[in-house]
Structure 1
Amino acid sequence: MLYLRLARGYRVLDLGRWLLTALAGSVVAAFLLRSLGRAMSDPQGTDGSVVRLLWCLPPLAAVAWFAAVAARALPAQRPERITGLTAAGAGSTRIRILIAGEIALASALGSALTLLLFLVLRNDIAGDTLAPELGMGVPLPAAAPVTLLALVPLVAGVAAAIAVPAVETLPGRGTPGGTPGTAQGYTPLRLAIPVGLTVIGLALELYGLRSGAAEDGRPLHLPAGLGSTSVAALGGWAGTAIGLALLTGPLLAWAGRLLALGRPTPLRLLAGRGLTAEARRLSPPLAVLALILAVVLTTIRYWVGTPDSADVLPAIEAVLVLGCAVAAVVARLAEVRTARRQVTAGLLQLGAAPRLLFGAVALRALAVGTVLLLTGGLTAALGAATLA
């Protein structure tokens, strides 16, 4: 009943988040049910069943990531809801459970709709093409689809509950380690880890791509029709990609400091200080989005250059993962905008022109795009060299 009362106050943003969570959960449920249907159609193919289940992990992780970002942004976007729940006697732990339950409920609804469609198609409606995917002609154990589909709301709910710190859900309290939006410096130790990963990964990839490296050992066959490569090249690319992703935050902070360097104009000062203050909050979803885009573009490039190598299932999963990453970035941007609402209102009261504020946003977006083009472009270029 409480969730129904909360739903009565939903806005467009709340409905969009809820529907996106349900849609993502339904797609992941479709992947899980497909793996179940294929396992029933080919009971002797144990290895193939395990591989198909492993293919469900990337979209499941993407849904968990989106659920975590959306749950973390909810208290900042709807402080009046948190205030009302607190006034009604709900503590921080119960509020976290309510937020996690809302997201898990959306995922469960999407999974239930997919299960209903799966059962309808198994009722002699699907043709011969979908028969192996649905396991038609084989009795369906009731516990199998329920157990598989319970993973989707469970993973989304747990990720949402972990993502929201209890201290952030209560009105009038700041984020741990400072007030929202305060710039936090990157210590040399925090910079040494991503820089070391990037350098070591780049050296390892260059070693794996040297002439005559193919004779060192057996090649590693990649999934999704991406051919084969050496273990050193793939491991080096993975290390470099993770290092560049971890460097996104420091690069954004340095880009903000560079904008405000010297005697900046009000436009550069607002853009630079704002980017430096929000670099730590913006960097995780932006780094994930840049990494996913680099992987997707590298895969598309290989498929285009190698005819008849494309696979439908990885392409659909890539669309889902990319969609979850974009939705996570949008949710984080909405959270940042809500957190800076008082600052923006104060600047307008002081006489700042709206054109100045829009210009600062555009300049920050240009700086962020430049950083992502650097990290994502280098990741994609190294990935293309690995698959060449």
Structure 2
Amino acid sequence: MFYLRLARGYRVPDLGRWLLTALASAVVAAFLLRSLGRALSDQPGGADPLVRLLWCLPPLAAVAWFAAVAARAVPARRPERIAGLTAAGAGSARIRTLIAGEIALACTLGSVLTLLAFLVLRNDIAGPSLAPDLGMGVPLPTVAPVALLALVPLTAGIAAACAVPVAGTMPGGRPTTRTGFGPFRIALPIGLAVVGLALELLALRPGAAADGRPVHLPAGLGSTSVAAFGGWAASALGLALLTGPLLSWTGRVLALGRPTPLRLLAGRGLTAQARRLGTPLAVLTLVVAVVLTTIRYWIGTPDSADVLPAVEACLVLGCTAAAVAARLAEVRTDRRDVTDALLRLGASPRLLVGAVALRTLAVGTTLLVTGGATAALAAAGLR
């Protein structure tokens, strides 16, 4: 009953977040049920069902991450809801449970709709092309689909409960966040990027010995050497971890010397937001780089494309973009007091819009450098 009353007060962003969560969970549930149907249809000794289940982990992780980011943004974007719950006697643990339950309810709805579609298609409606994916002609165990589909709301609910900050659940409370990065936080990604680059260059040098144990890549991407794959993975991880510090340094560069009010607002704002925006933007950049590299390889190698990895890539990319949008909305809400104070002090709206545009340009340039380097190293390893 509480969630029905809560849904009556939904605004457009709340409803969109709820529907996106349900849609993403429905797609993940379809992947899980497809792996179950394939396992029922295959003959003994065929393809490993565990491999198909492992293919479902990336979209499941993407949905859980989106659920965590969306749940974290709820206290900042709906403080009146949190204030009302606190006034009614709900503590931080209860508020965490309520937000996680809302996310899990959306995931449950999407999973149930997918299960209903799966059962309807199994009733001699699907054509021969879908019969192996649905396991038609084989009795369906009752526990198997329920156990698989329970993973989606359970994972998303746990991720959402762990992501809600305790300080942000109190009325008017703001979690204290640091704006800088420690020496270890900077030295680790630089070391990973340098070591990975050296390892990949060593594996791709002319006349390098052939690897006796090549790594067979999924999604029809052929195979590569262990050294090249390990070097790219280390470099990609290092560049992703370095995104936050690079954004902070870019903000400091914008405010160097005697900056104009435009550069000062853009630089200080970017430095303050770098720690919170670094992780979602790094994940989005990494996913986009991998997707573009895969598309480039498929175009250059005819008949190598696969439908299932393409659908999973679209889901992961959509969840990542939605998570970035939720984090941007959270940051905008937190800076609303600062924006109102600047307007009261006489700052023109054009100045604030220009600072946002300059900050966006600086962020885009930084992500273009890190994403371009990641995509270039991946393309070099696939040759």
Tell me the TM-score range normalised by the shorter chain. Answer: over 0.9
- Following superposition, the deviation at residue 47 of structure 1 comes to 4.4
Consecutive unaligned residues of structure 2, counting only runs of 5 or more, are: none
Q: Does 1:318 align with 2:332?
A: no
The more displaced of 145-154 and 206-215 is 206-215
Matched, 1:18 2:18: yes
Q: Are the aligned partners of 2:179 and 2:273 in contact in 1 as well (CA < 8 Å)?
A: no
- Residue from 371, 377, 383 that aligns with 1:382: 377
Structure 2 residue 227 is the aligned partner of structure 1 residue 232: yes
Q: TM-score by structure 2 length?
A: 0.98
What amino acid sits opposite 1:141 in the alignment?
P
Q: 1:358 to 1:286 in 2, by over 3 A?
A: same
Partner of 1:84: 84
Distance (Å, rounded) in 1 between the aligned partners of 2:206 and 2:325: 44
- 1:125 match: 125
Is the aligned partner of 1:337 residue 2:332? yes
Aligned equivalents of 2:11 and 2:17: distance in 1?
10
1:369 alignment partner in structure 2: 364
Q: In structure 2, do the counterparts of structure 1 residues 39 and 81 end up closer, same or farther at CA, with 3 Å as the change threshold?
A: same
The letter for the 1-side match of 2:95 is: I
Match of 1:35 in 2: 35
State the alpha-carbon separation in 1 of the partners of residues 137 and 279 from structure 2: 46
Match of 1:296 in 2: 291
Give, in whole Å, the separation in 2 of the partners of 1:173 and 1:45.
Answer: 58
Task: Write out per-residue CA displacement over residues 170-190 of structure 1, whole angstroms, 9 at most, x where no aligned residue.
Answer: 1232314x4xxxx52212121
Residue 53, structure 1, aligned to residue 63, structure 2:
no
Stretches of structure 1 lacking an aligned partner (at least 5 in a row)? none
1:163-202 matched pairs, under 5 angstroms? 163-176=163-176, 178=177, 184-202=179-197
- Aligned positions, number: 383
For the pair 1:264 / 2:243, whether they are aligned, the reply is: no
Stretch moving more, 137-146 or 167-176:
167-176
Question: What is the percentage of aligned positions where both structures have the same residue?
Answer: 77
The aligned amino acid for 2:378 is G
**C-alpha separation in 2, matches of 1:296 and 1:49:** 25
Matches within 5 A, 1:138-157: 138-157=138-157
Query: Which stretch of structure 1 is more off in the superposition, 167-176 or 122-131?
Result: 167-176
How far apart are the structure 1 equivalents of 2:357 and 2:79? 27
Separation in 1 of the partners of 2:181 and 2:69?
Answer: 22
Counterpart-to-counterpart distance in 2, 1:311 and 1:126: 21
The answer as to whether partners of 1:40 and 1:138 remain within 8 angstroms in 2 is yes
Alignment correspondent of 1:245: 240
Is 1:276 aligned to residue 266 of structure 2? Answer: no
2:268 and 2:165 map into 1 onto residues whose CA distance is 26
Q: Is the 8 A contact 1:214 1:230 kept in 2?
A: no
Alpha-carbon deviations, 1:242-261, whole Å to 9, x = none? 00000000000011011111
TM-score of the aligned structures, taking structure 1 as reference length:
0.97
Q: Distance in 1 between matches of 2:126 and 2:47?
A: 26
Structure 1 CA distance for aligned equivalents of residues 271 and 65 of structure 2: 24
Residues 68, 163 of structure 1: 8 Å contact kept: yes
Question: How far apart are the structure 2 equivalents of 1:214 and 1:158?
Answer: 47
For residue 224 of structure 1, report the CA deviation from its aligned partner. Answer: 0.7
Give SS of 1:139's match: coil
Give the distance between the partners of 2:341 and 2:45, measured in 1 at CA: 65
- One-letter amino acid matched to 1:236: G
Q: Is 1:358 the counterpart of 2:353 in the alignment?
A: yes
Q: Give the aligned partner of residue 302 of structure 2.
A: 307
In the alignment, the residues of structure 1 paired with residue 234 and residue 139 of structure 2 have an alpha-carbon distance, to the nearest angstrom, of 45
SS of structure 2 residue aligned to 1:281: helix
Match of 2:143, as an amino acid? A
Match of 1:2 in 2: 2
Moved over 3 A (4+): none
Preserved CA contact (<8 Å) 2:197 2:231: yes
Secondary structure of the structure 1 residue equivalent to 2:48: helix
Q: Deviations over 1:331-381 (max 9, x none)?
A: 000000000001111111111111111100000000000000000000000
Backbone CA RMSD of aligned residues? 1.0
Q: Secondary structure at the match of 2:10?
A: coil
- What is the Cα deviation at residue 45 of structure 1? 4.2
Query: What displacement does 1:43 show?
Result: 4.3
CA contact 1:209–1:386 (8 Å) conserved in 2: yes
**SS of the residue aligned with 2:156?**
helix
